[in-house]
Amino acid sequence: MPRSLAPILCPFLGLVLTAQPTPYQKAPKAIQAVLDAPGTPSLIDSPKGDRFLLAEFERHPSIADLAQPMARLAGLRFNPTSRGPHSPQRLKGLAIQGLTGTAKPVALPAGVSLGQPRWSPDGTRFVMMSATPKATELWVGEASTGKLRRIEGVRLNAILGNPLDWMPDGSLLCKTVPAAQGSVPKAPEVPLGPRIQETEGKAAPAPTYQDLLQNAQDEVRFEFLAQSQLVRVDLATGALKPFGKPGLYGNVQPSPDGKLLLVPRIQRPFSFLVPVSHFPVREEVWDRSGAMVHLASDQPLAEDIPLEGVRKGPRHLHWRPTEPATLAWTEALDGGDPKRKAEFRDHVLVQAAPFKAAATELIRLKDRMQDLDWSESGDLAVVQEYDRDRKWTRTWLVNPAKPGAARLAFDLSSNDRYRNPGSFVSRLLPNGQTALLQQGGGLFLVGRGATPEGDRPFLDRLDPATLKTERRFRCGEGLFESPAFLLPDGRFITRRESPAEAPNYVLHGAEAKAETRALTAFKDPLPELRKIQKKLVKYTRPDGVALSFTMYLPPDYKAGERRPAVVWAYPMEFTDASTAGQVSGSASRFTTIGGMSHLFFLLQGYVVLDGATMPVVGDPKTVNDTFLDQVVASAKAAIDKADELGVIDPKRVGVGGHSYGAFMTANLLAHSTLFKAGIARSGAYNRTLTPFGFQSERRTLWEAPDMYLKVSPFMSANHFNAPILLIHGEADNNQGTFPIQSERLYAALKGNGQTARYVTLPLESHGYSARESIEHTLWEMIHWFDKHLK
Q: 247 near 255, Cβ under 8 Å? A: no
Catalytic residue selected from 482, 586, 732, 742: 732
Q: What is the mean pLDDT of residues 464-490?
A: 95
Catalytic residue selected from 316, 318, 347, 766: 766
pLDDT band at 22; cut points 50, 70, 90? confident
Q: 338 near 326, Cβ under 8 Å? A: no
- For residue 357, the SS3 value is coil
Q: What is the mean pLDDT of residues 393-403?
A: 95
Provide, rounded to the nearest whole percent, the portion of the chain with pLDDT above 90.
91
Stated as kind and residue range, the H or E segment containing 541 is: none
Closest CA to 158 of 92, 27, 41, 249: 249
pLDDT at 18 over 50: no
Beta strands at 125-131 and 546-553: parallel, antiparallel or unpaired: unpaired
Q: What is the pLDDT of residue 188?
A: 85
Alpha helices in 60-101 (DSSP H): 63-66
pLDDT band at 629; cut points 50, 70, 90? very high
pLDDT band at 13; cut points 50, 70, 90? very low
Cβ-based neighbours of 663, under 8 Å, separated by 6 or more: 657, 680, 683, 684, 685, 713
Q: What is the pLDDT of residue 4?
A: 44
pLDDT band at 187; cut points 50, 70, 90? confident
pLDDT band at 455; cut points 50, 70, 90? very high
732 annotated active-site: yes
Cβ-based neighbours of 438, under 8 Å, separated by 6 or more: 375, 376, 377
pLDDT band at 20; cut points 50, 70, 90? low
300-358 pLDDT, tens digit each: 999 999 989 999 999 999 999 999 999 999 999 999 999 999 999 999 999 999 999 99
Q: What is the pLDDT of residue 202?
A: 81
d(CA 508, CA 504): 13
d(CA 243, CA 229): 8
271 annotated active-site: no
pLDDT band at 2; cut points 50, 70, 90? very low
| Radius of gyration, CA atoms only, the chain | 28
286-299 pLDDT, tens digit each: 999 999 999 999 99
Q: Is 471 exposed, middle or buried (0-12, 13-18, 19+ CB in 10 A)?
A: exposed
d(CA 32, CA 546): 37
54-92 pLDDT, tens digit each: 999 999 999 999 999 999 999 999 999 999 999 898 999
d(CA 267, CA 258): 26
Q: 646 near 560, Cβ under 8 Å? A: yes
pLDDT band at 195; cut points 50, 70, 90? confident
CA 471 to chain centre: 29
Alpha helices in 529-673 (DSSP H): 577-580, 627-644, 660-671
pLDDT at 12 over 50: no
Closest CA to 731 of 57, 211, 44: 211
pLDDT band at 142; cut points 50, 70, 90? very high
Q: What is the mean pLDDT of residues 38-58?
A: 96
- Residue 726 half-sphere exposure toward CB, CA atoms < 13 A: 29
Q: Is 113 exposed, middle or buried (0-12, 13-18, 19+ CB in 10 A)?
A: buried
d(CA 489, CA 444): 13
pLDDT band at 206; cut points 50, 70, 90? confident
pLDDT at 393 over 80: yes
Beta strands in 163-280 (DSSP E): 164-166, 172-176, 228-233, 240-247, 253-254, 260-266
224-243 pLDDT, tens digit each: 999 999 999 999 999 999 99
Q: 670 near 721, Cβ under 8 Å? A: yes
pTM, entire model: 0.94
pLDDT band at 3; cut points 50, 70, 90? very low
Cβ-based neighbours of 526, under 8 Å, separated by 6 or more: 33, 34, 37
Catalytic residue selected from 87, 171, 659, 769: 659
Q: What is the mean pLDDT of residues 746-762?
A: 98
Q: What is the DSSP letter of 556?
A: T
d(CA 239, CA 361): 42
Q: What is the mean pLDDT of residues 673-701?
A: 96
pLDDT at 15 over 70: no
Stated as kind and residue range, the H or E segment containing 319 is: strand 315-319
Mean pLDDT, all residues of the chain: 94
387 annotated active-site: no
pLDDT band at 1; cut points 50, 70, 90? very low
